Amino acid sequence: MPESERAKMAAGEWYTCLDDEVETLRATARDAVFEHNSLPPGQRGNLGPALKALLGRVGEGARIEAPFHCAYGFNIVLGDGVFLNAGCTILDTASVRIGKGTLLGPNVQIYCAEHHREAAGRQAGLEIARAVEIGANAWIGGSAVILGGVSIGDGAIVGAGAVVTRDVPANTTVVGNPARPVTRR
């Protein structure tokens, strides 16, 4: 019996996102995200209850401003005191781990899914999931894009609008498209 598409996704193999089980998982996430984004701030708290239950782990004091979007939710792990500003999108087909005290500016986007390079593969819904790891006390500037397979070290800074295509060492500042290190002044 062939492996399920969800199992292939979790194993980091090519899978098709055009699958009933995978779609059911996305629908569950959409419902939790809708609740979070629809609740008044006083009722939402740091996270809407359905979103908090959906996420893989939520550290003490972690906060997500609305609106927020994620693909599945269960692959997201937030450390203590993590803050995601309004408009963040996390396409968590693979693990997304964000270390304690890390701040994400408005409209930060994290994309774990990589689509097939051949048109026929894309039409068949083929993609592969690549994890993202962001260390503790990092700062990701507004509208930055982080691609799958990237690791960002503790204390790193990603400038606003940067597109991060490769690993960022700890305590390094990167800016631009593609993101490149700069000397701190």
Question: For residues 19 and 131, is the Cβ–Cβ distance under 8 A?
Answer: no
- CA dihedral sign of residues 52, 58, 61, 67: negative
Q: Which residues contact 91 (CB under 8 A, 6 or more apart)?
A: 70, 71, 109, 110, 111, 112, 113
Structure tokens at 175: 């800016």
Structure tokens at 9: 């996704």
| Residues belonging to the active site | 115
Structure tokens at 177: 């498209």
Question: In terms of DSSP H, where are the helices of the chain?
Answer: 5-10, 20-38, 41-44, 49-54, 119-123
Q: Which residues contact 20 (CB under 8 A, 6 or more apart)?
A: none
